[in-house]
């Protein structure tokens, strides 16, 4: 058995912890079965947003006529777009691996690994198996697509996961998406803007149902204008059709009350959420507690039920975003590498959905609030000079307590992923709704949408808008 000062399991967010440990003089082992960079770099955020940018360009060109600009999309080199994005991603991952291998303090095991004891990890190496151990272990084992057992036929019919969809070189003529969350919204936008017919089957009565209800309804209506959207239907079966429909895949879905529907496409993307990789790392053998969904349980220091073992990122389930995982990595470095006892905080935690329209959100939705006293202010894009010029609908919604505390903020429309950051910074700095409302905003910048929502929620007159 080989002993290290620190073992890091997972090369996504965990790579930052491993690198920091090596830089501070620890003898570190890093175990990652796939490419370094984890889900975000290789199978998630980075490739999807690079692809979606191309989709945004295509959509902008198609909509140019509404602004008096004659333009059209003659063709999309779909395979070239996918190849270009994935070549960039692969090169970045390989660069990370090369850096890891060059470190004198870091041993990189690019192999399968699993716990076989409390602080003992078995890794596949050189055709055999090797056991490694350390007094300190950071588990950053990630997550993977969740395939519901309730859908029959998934073991018989080929379908796409989000990882597959990002590397698909031949654009489907018609894509059926099972699921209505973030991934479904983003992939629906990408394939639709690239020229595919898209159908979305969601068990919820709205798309992106975790968002504020007003936002979710706005997104659902926008998608229903362009795609076939079936909300309130739970997928029950996948079927590979033959005869006159050979090569076509069929999705059967049922509502809570009513008749079954059948939706056909030449590809099916199952985007019904993600599950933690705690089982593949065999955390049970280490005595690490998990919740009913398999997420590793942690305390406020991100330490698990086993002393000296911390968990960060998707596998811990605190937030399942790359930016929250990066913040947790900072605390893992402080606590596991430097021996501190720092309690994790997520100041101004926000997220975005890069669909069409975009969504930006932080804090509570109206549905989350069980308190009776709160105020809501909304402001439409087309109530601003630049919003009118964009010719796109959307709105911002601010939720505040009577004393001005910012409880939540939600924006849907162009550049929502950027607009939300003004509020995230304000919340992180301890500012209240009045401060945002009274801050001088550049005219006619789109950020006036944000200011307008906060002026309304606090009863300020819309001066300067």
- Write out the chain's pLDDT in tens, 465 residues: 899 999 999 999 999 999 999 999 999 999 999 888 877 777 778 899 999 999 999 999 999 998 899 999 999 999 999 999 999 988 988 888 888 888 889 999 999 999 999 999 999 877 789 999 999 999 999 999 999 999 999 999 999 999 999 999 999 999 999 999 999 999 999 999 999 999 999 999 999 999 999 999 999 999 999 999 999 999 999 999 876 666 799 999 999 888 999 999 999 999 999 999 999 999 999 999 999 999 999 999 999 999 999 999 999 989 999 999 999 999 999 999 999 999 999 999 999 999 999 999 999 999 999 777 999 999 999 988 777 677 678 999 999 999 999 999 999 999 999 999 999 999 999 999 999 999 999 999 999 999 999 999 999 987 654
Residue 344 lies in a domain: no
Q: What domain count does the chain have?
A: 3
Answer yes or no: do 284 and 368 share one domain: no
Give the CA count within 13 Å in the CB-facing half-sphere of 68. 2
Q: Which of residues 253, 272, 291 is at a domain's end?
A: 272
Secondary structure of residue 436 in the 3-state scheme:
helix
- Boundaries of domain holding 36: 2-144+275-337
Answer yes or no: do 103 and 57 share one domain: yes
State both tokens at 176. 């059926």
pLDDT of 459: 93
Secondary structure of residue 196 in the 3-state scheme:
coil
Q: What is the rounded CA–CA span in Å between residue 70 and residue 254?
A: 44
Answer yes or no: do 38 and 169 share one domain: no
Nearest one of 423, 274, 417, 269 to 354, comparing CA atoms: 417
Q: Which of residues 272, 294, 309 is at a domain's end?
A: 272
Rounded to two decimals, what is the model's pTM?
0.94
Answer yes or no: do 333 and 354 share one domain: no
Answer yes or no: do 225 and 111 share one domain: no
421 is an active site residue: no
Answer yes or no: do 119 and 239 share one domain: no
Q: How deeply is 148 buried, as exposed, middle or buried, from its count of CB atoms within 10 A (0-12, 13-18, 19+)?
A: middle
pLDDT of 465: 47
Helix or strand (DSSP H, E) at 95: helix 78-102
C-alpha angle 190-146-269 in degrees, rounded to nearest 5: 30
Residue 151 lies in a domain: no
Report the CATH number at residue 447: 3.30.390.30
* Cβ(310)–Cβ(298) below 8 Å: yes
Answer yes or no: do 135 and 211 share one domain: no
DSSP type of residue 336: I
Report the CATH number at residue 12: 3.50.50.60
Q: What is the rounded CA–CA span in Å between residue 280 and residue 226?
A: 39
Answer yes or no: do 35 and 140 share one domain: yes
DSSP type of residue 296: B
pLDDT of 391: 64
Residue 156 lies in a domain: no
Answer yes or no: do 113 and 10 share one domain: yes
Residue 345 lies in a domain: no
Q: Is the dihedral of CA 426, 427, 429, 432 positive or negative?
A: positive
Q: Which of residues 298, 315, 337 is at a domain's end?
A: 337
Residue 75 lies in a domain: yes
Residue 298 lies in a domain: yes
Helical H segments across 255-382, by residue range:
322-332
Answer yes or no: do 268 and 283 share one domain: no
Q: E strands of 27-109, at which residues?
A: 28-31, 106-109
128 contacts: CB under 8 Å, gap ≥ 6: none
Residue 463 lies in a domain: no
Answer yes or no: do 279 and 133 share one domain: yes
30: left (phi over 0), alpha (psi -120 to 50) or beta: beta
Answer yes or no: do 198 and 85 share one domain: no
DSSP type of residue 249: E
The length of the chain in residues reads 465
Residue 153 lies in a domain: no
């Amino acid at each position: 058995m080989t002993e290290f000062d620190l073992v890091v399991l997972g090369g996504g967010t965990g790579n930052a912890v491993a690198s920091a440990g090596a830089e501070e003089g620890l003898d570190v082992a890093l175990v990652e079965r796939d490419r370094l960079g984890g889900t975000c770099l290789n199978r998630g955020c980075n490739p999807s947003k690079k692809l979606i940018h191309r989709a945004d360009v295509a959509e902008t060109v198609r909509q140019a006529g509404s602004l008096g600009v004659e333009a059209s999309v003659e063709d999309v080199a779909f395979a070239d777009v996918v190849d270009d994005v994935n070549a960039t991603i692969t090169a970045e991952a390989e660069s990370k691996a090369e850096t890891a291998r060059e470190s004198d303090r870091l041993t990189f095991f690019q192999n399968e690994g699993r716990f076989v004891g409390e602080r003992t990890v078995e890794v596949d190496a050189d055709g055999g198996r090797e056991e490694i151990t350390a007094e300190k272990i950071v588990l950053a084992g990630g997550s993977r697509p969740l395939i519901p057992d309730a859908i029959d036929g998934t073991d018989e019919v080929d379908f796409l996961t989000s990882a597959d969809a990002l590397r698909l070189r031949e654009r489907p003529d018609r894509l059926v998406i099972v699921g209505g969350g973030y991934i479904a919204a983003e992939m629906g936008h990408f394939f639709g803007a690239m020229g595919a017919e898209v159908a979305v089957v969601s068990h919820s009565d709205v798309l992106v149902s975790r968002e504020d209800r007003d936002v979710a309804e706005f997104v659902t209506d926008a998608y229903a204008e362009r795609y076939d959207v079936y909300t309130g239907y739970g997928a029950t079966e996948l079927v590979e059709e033959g005869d006159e429909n050979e090569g076509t895949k069929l999705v059967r879905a049922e509502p809570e009350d009513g008749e079954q529907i059948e939706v056909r496409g030449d590809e099916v993307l199952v985007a019904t959420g993600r599950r933690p990789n705690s089982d593949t790392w065999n955390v049970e053998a280490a005595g690490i507690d998990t919740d009913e969904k398999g997420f590793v349980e942690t305390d406020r220091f991100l330490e698990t039920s086993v002393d000296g073992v911390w968990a960060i990122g998707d596998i811990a389930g605190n937030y399942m975003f790359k930016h929250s995982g990066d913040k947790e990595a900072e605390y893992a470095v402080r606590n596991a590498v430097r021996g501190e006892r720092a309690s994790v905080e997520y100041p101004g935690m926000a997220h975005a959905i890069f669909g069409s329209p975009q969504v930006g959100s932080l804090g509570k939705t109206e549905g989350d609030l069980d308190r009776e006293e709160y105020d809501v202010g909304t402001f439409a894009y087309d109530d601003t000079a630049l919003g009118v010029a964009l010719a796109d609908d959307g709105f911002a919604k601010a939720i505040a307590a009577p004393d001005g505390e910012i409880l939540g903020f939600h924006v849907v429309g162009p550049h929502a992923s950027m607009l939300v950051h003004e509020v995230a910074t304000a919340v992180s700095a301890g500012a209240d709704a009045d401060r945002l409302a009274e801050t001088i905003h550049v005219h006619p910048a789109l950020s006036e949408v944000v200011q307008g929502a906060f002026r309304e929620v606090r009863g300020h007159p819309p001066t300067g808008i």
